Amino acid sequence: MTRKSRRLAIIAAVALGLGTATLLSMSAFRQNMVFFMAPTDIAQQGVPAGRTIRLGGMVTAGSVSRGQDNGSPIAKFRVTDGKTTIDVSFAGILPDLFREGQGVVALGTLAPDHSFVAAEVLAKHDETYMPKDVADALKKTGHWNPAKGAPAPNTLWTGATATPPTSIKSGG
C-alpha cells in the first residue's frame, strides 16, 4: 500500500469515526436535551406531558407532606418562583439538604394534571447554597435582587402565587 493510499484510508477512517460521533451526538442531543424551567416558564410555555425537564425554584414553606403509594413512601411539596407555584411529587429519599424554604432542582416530567413528577431531586453539598439556575430564575421574576442582599428568609416563601411576600417586593 502506498503512502498516499494509506493516508486516504486513514482520512476515511477518521471521517467515519468523527462522522458517526457527530451523527450520534446530534440525534441524542435532540432526544435528550433537558431544559431548565421555573414554574412560571412551565405555565407560560405549555410543556407537553411526558417531556423531561429540570424544574427549579424554592420549596414553599409548610408544603411538604409524606404519603404512601404501593408501599413506597411518596413526598409531596410545592415549588414556587414567587409568581407561580407547582405541585411536585417524588418517590424516594429526599436529599439530605432538602429543606422547606430553600432552593431545589428536580428532574422529572409533567403529569397530565399539570403536577410535576420528580424522578430525581438534586441538592447541593453546601447548606447555604442557592442553585445558580434557581437564583437566575428568581432574579428573572424580580423576587430577588442580588444587589440588595440575600434572598428573603425561608419562612417568607409561603405559597406565594399572585403576590410575592411584601418584604421581598420592597427589597427587589
Residue ranges that bind another protein, judged by CB under 8 A: 1-3, 6, 9-10, 13-14, 16-18, 20-21, 24-25, 27-29, 31-37, 54, 66, 68, 71-73, 91-94, 96-97, 107, 122, 124-127, 131-133, 136
What residues form DSSP beta bridges with 57?
104
Pick 49 or 120: Cβ nearer another protein: 120
Q: Which helix (H) or strand (E) holds 139?
A: helix 132-140
| Whole-number Å distance between alpha carbons of 38 and 79 | 9
Query: What does the alpha-carbon distance between residue 124 and residue 86 come to, in Å, rounded to a whole number?
Result: 21
- Say if residue 154 is exposed, middle or buried (CB neighbours under 10 Å; 0-12, 13-18, 19+): middle
Q: How far is the CB of 94 from another protein (least distance, A)?
A: 7
C-beta closer to another protein: residue 27 or 44: 27
Question: Cβ of residue 28: shortest distance to another protein, in angstroms?
Answer: 4
Q: How far is the CB of 163 from another protein (least distance, A)?
A: 26
Q: Round to whole Å and give the CA distance between 21 and 115.
A: 37
Shortest gap between Cβ of 169 and another protein (angstroms)? Answer: 25
Residue nearer to another protein on the CB measure, 4 or 162: 4
Q: What is the 3-state secondary structure (H, E, C) of 87-125?
A: EEEEECCCCCCCCCCCEEEEEEEECCCCCEEEEEEECCC
| Cβ-based nearer residue to another protein, 36 or 87 | 36
Pick the closest to residue 110 from 39, 36, 47 (CA basis). 47
5/170 with CB nearer another protein: 5
The least distance separating another protein from the CB of residue 85, rounded to whole angstroms, comes to: 20
